[in-house]
Every structure is written in structure tokens, then in C-alpha cells.
Amino acid sequence: MKKKLGYIGILLAVLLLLSWLLLMAESGAEGASIRSISDALWYMIVTLTTVGYGDLYPVTTLGKIIGIIFVLSSMGLLGFLLASIISTFNSDGVKLLYLKRHRDEEWYVFSEFNEKTGFLIRDIKSKGKGIFVCLQEKEDTSVDGVINIGCSFDKIIGLKNDKSTLHLFFMKDCDNDYENYSDYHNSCNDYLSDNVLPFHCYCLTEYVPEVIPVNLVCFNKYENVSRLYWNIYPIRCDLGYDEKIVIIGSGKYGSSILEHALKGNVFKVGQEVEYHLFGEWNNFRTEHYRLKEYFSIDKKGDAVDSIFYHESSWMENREVVENASRIIICDNDEDNNLMILSKLRTYYALRNKDLQIHVLYSRKIDDTGIYTFGAINDIYSDEFVMKEKQNRAAIGMHEIYRKENDKATDWNHLSTFRRQSNQAVADHMAIKMRILDAVTPKEAYDRYRALSDKEKLVLWHLEHDRWMRFHILYNWHYASVRDDSVREHNLLVAFDRLPYEEQKKDAYSWELLSKIENL
């Protein structure tokens, strides 16, 4: 816009200079009709606009040359003016003016339009009204009603009065998604106050800071896929035996799916779920080096879940594969997943009548007993990116806890680990409802209240097991004195070793069933 105004200024200066030269050439000539600056300007205007009244005309050679320049210039002037008008109405200036006129509405602003943001925009638009903006100059969106504008997040933030209705999405399609976190930090860090952002930010990144500001959501595709998977295909508690799960594929998808399983698949005291892992799992085993303190590793456990790191290929472990209750094929390469599925169906006698085969694949496979997951429109949806329901439940539960514990840290200053712990409690509520055979939290709470003290004690035990698994997954360990800085906790012991007053504290998450309906 500024460059265009500069060109217009130069053009006007040239035209004024020519008008002055015209006056100098004509004013003293015999029979001249152009004798004042107003005459020269009038002649310039009527010539350039192709009106040509004929009341004024040059008589000198220089005057006629300038007249010819005006006539030739008139050919491009109208085109230039018309193009300028059209360009102005399509320019960022008009779009910014539109945004100013709608600054009280909900805004959803994206770093760019790509396949991921396209699905997310469609999902959000399907649930209500709002203004949708992509910060790019190119008009390549395939979604109606999206404003493309070439400006910064900072400028958008400055336009908004009520910043609580502003949602910023840092979701560039880049090889290193730390770039998205860097963009967030550079654009929003100055707006932080007491670790709270005045607007909502969503950042596609695998990087997680030690303390996440309130109103910042960090997410990545691996986490979204694993949460989606266990939401759709939860651990089965009604088979009459504990599941034997085979995971083929050791990339980031496989690791995330297993992490969520170990944290959340807690449904009875003394359960014996088996996880058989095929692929390259050395990194996972190294990162989670304290798993052996709770789980049975590479052998069948007694009243505890077992993790088997198979060094040989799944094809060499026919008995394990053929007797599995669930096979999860989740290599990072979708084509490889289809090849593995094809080999399974072709060469193996899959004996378990309860077997389900789950394949990480972006499209549905129309085949009996085959279930796919990980479609891009599912993992980049409102639920899994904005996480409003999950965060609202986690924050609400923590605030309930704070009312009963004056010394508890407020949510704004909780570490990332503590927030994740609260979110794990919220995620496990669905399994608690299944354990109590209830459809709603209120129904589950009523059934919990009706249990005997002995039955309640079993559920408290279950909750302690879930809490221990979460901490051990992140390499906490027992010490007689708690020290969070070195991941030591005095309660990381078997439930039976806890004093009754500590056991009773595990009733807290079950009591929350009476309060989460309105969170």
C-alpha cells in the first residue's frame, strides 16, 4: 500500500512539472490560450481524462509535445485508476478494516492454510460462527469464508479489544515443528502476565516447556493419534481374561500409543495385560528406565502388567501373534502398515475369536475385523487440538482439590508434569465410569456411593495403581522423603503398605464423579 502511494506521488509530481513547463512555453506566445497556471492544470486534467473541451490548446512546439505526452498518458490513466480501485478493495487494508468492524466476534487466526489447518477450520466452522483468518498473502484456501491476509500475529493481536475471544494457531507445515513454538514465543511472550496469556494459543510442536502458560495448548500428531486411538478402542474389560496386545511399529506413533496405554489402561487390581512390542524399542526402553520397578519386563508377571521387548521380528513369533486379542500396526510408514496387514491375513492362523486388528492408516479399510485410525481429519479436530473439554475437566478437578487443600499450588503455576497428572485423572474418568457400569458421571457416583467400604477400598487401590504407573512412566521412584526436584516420592509403594489415612486420599478421584458433570 505504501509503495503504491509512493508511485502515485511521483506520477503527480511529474504531471505538475509538465504543467509548469507547458505554462512557461505557452504564456508568452502569440495566440496562446494557456496563460496561467490554472489554465495549464485545466488543460492537463481534461486531456488526461479524454474529455477534451477544446477551449484550451497549445500553440508552441514544446507545448504541443507536452500535449502529446498528456494524450498518450491518458490511455493508461483510466486503466491504472481502475486497477488501483480493484486492488484497494482486495488489499490487506480493506481486510484489516473488515476485521476492525467485527472485532467483537470470535477470531480464529492461523499461521497458514495447509491440509491440517484446513480440516481444523472446517471442524470449528461446523460448530458455530466466527471469523477465520490465515496469515498469508496467497489465496489458496479451499474453505469458504477464510480471510487471507499478509500480516503478523502481533498486528492481529493489536486489533482485538476482547482478547479472550482471540484464538491463535501456530501450525505451519514445516520439517522442524520447533519453528511453530519459536513463532509462538516471539509473537506472544510479551503478553504473558503471571504466566497467563490474555488470548488462546495452540502450538503444533513436540517441544514442551517446563511450565506451560495458561491458555497455551501444545500438541503434536503422535499424541493426538494415541489419544484418539484409546478413546475409540479402549482396553476391553469384559473378555473374561486380560488382553494380550501386540504392537508392530516402534516409531513415534508406537511409543506414544504404548505410553498412553501404560498410563491409562488401569481397570482392575491385579490385572495382567500383556504388551508385546516388535520393532526398534531401545529408545523407549532407555527413556523409561524405571518401568521394571512396577511392570514385569520380558516375562509373564503375576498380578501385574507385562511388557515384552521382542528382539526378533513379529514374523518369527507366530504363537504370540496368532493368539493375540489385539494387534496394533502403527509403523510411521502407512504403506508398510498395509504390507504387514496383508502378510498377517495371508500367512497366519489368527486363532483368537476376540481378535481385533487396528491399523494406522488415513483411510478406512473395508474388511471384517480390520479397524483403521489416524485419519488426518480426526487428529486435527477441535477436540484434539483445542482440548477445551479435557483442559476444563483437569482445571476444574484441580480447583476442587485446592478448595480442600489450602497449600496446593494454583493451576497457573503448576509445572507441566503436574498439569499432565491432572489431565491423566480427567482421561481416566471414562474408564472409572465403565468399571462402575455407568453412562453418566452422576450414575457412576451413585453406584460408587452404594458400594461397601471393602469394595470402595479396592477402587482406592486401583486409583493408587494408576497414580503410581503415571509417575513411574516418567521415572519417579520411591524415597523416604519426597523431593520433586529429583523425582522422589515417599508414596511410591504398594497400596497395602500405605497407612489408612493415605489410602483414603485415593477416594478423591472417585468422589470427583459427583462434580465433573458441570465442569
pLDDT of residue 171: 95
User: Over the stretch 170-202, which tens digit does the pLDDT of each residue have?
Assistant: 999 887 778 999 999 999 999 999 899 999 999
Give the distance from CA 345 to its chain's centroid.
36
Residue ranges of alpha helices (H) inside 436-452 are: 441-449
Give the DSSP letter string of 315-360: GG-HHHHHT-SEEEE--S-HHHHHHHHHHHHHH-----TT-EEEEE
- Report, as an integer, the average pLDDT of 238-257: 94
Smallest Cα–Cα separation from 465: which of 259, 244, 230, 264? 264
**Is 275 within 8 Å of 305 (Cβ atoms)?**
yes
Whether 246 has a pLDDT exceeding 90, the answer reads: yes
Q: Which of the residue ranges 152-156, 453-457, 471-475 would you say has the lowest mean pLDDT?
A: 152-156
Count Cβ neighbours within 10 Å for each residue of 134-148 and write b for 16 or more, e otherwise: bbbeeeebeeeebbb
The sign of the torsion formed by the CA atoms of 111, 114, 119, 122 equals positive
Give the distance from CA 33 to its chain's centroid.
73
- Report, as an integer, the average pLDDT of 352-381: 90
Instruction: State in Å, rounded, how far the first CA of the chain is from the last one.
Output: 48
Residue 145 φ then ψ, to 5°: 80, 15
User: Over the stretch 201-221, which tens digit does the pLDDT of each residue have?
Assistant: 999 999 988 889 999 999 999
User: Over the stretch 464-486, which tens digit does the pLDDT of each residue have?
Assistant: 999 999 999 999 999 999 999 99
Query: What secondary structure letter does DSSP report for 483?
Result: B
Whether 89 has a pLDDT exceeding 60, the answer reads: no
- The Cα–Cα gap between 68 and 74 comes to 10
CA 77, 83, 84, 87: dihedral to nearest 10 degrees?
-170
pLDDT of residue 402: 83
Count Cβ neighbours within 10 Å for each residue of 84-113 and write b for 16 or more, e otherwise: eeeeeeebbeebbeebeeeeeebbbbbbbb
pLDDT of residue 450: 97
Whether 139 has a pLDDT exceeding 80, the answer reads: no
Contact residues for 230 (Cβ-Cβ < 8 A; gap 6+): 257, 260, 261, 264, 265
- The Cα–Cα gap between 198 and 187 comes to 13
- Report, as an integer, the average pLDDT of 59-63: 82
User: Judging by DSSP bridges, how do beta strands 244-248 and 326-329 pair with one another?
Assistant: parallel
Strand, coil or helix: 218? strand
Question: What residue ranges define each of the domains in the chain, with the CATH number in brackets?
Answer: 2-89 (1.10.287.70), 93-219 (3.40.50), 225-379 (3.40.50.720), 387-518 (no CATH)
Q: Which of the residue ranges 145-149, 269-273, 330-334 would you say has the lowest mean pLDDT?
A: 145-149
Confidence of residue 519 (pLDDT cuts 50, 70, 90): very low
Confidence of residue 408 (pLDDT cuts 50, 70, 90): confident
The proportion of the chain whose per-residue pLDDT surpasses 70, expressed as a percent, equals: 93
Mean pLDDT of the chain: 88
What pTM did the predictor assign?
0.81
Give the distance from CA 190 to its chain's centroid.
22
User: Over the stretch 289-312, which tens digit does the pLDDT of each residue have?
Assistant: 999 999 999 999 999 999 999 999
Query: What secondary structure letter does DSSP report for 138?
Result: S
Confidence of residue 411 (pLDDT cuts 50, 70, 90): confident
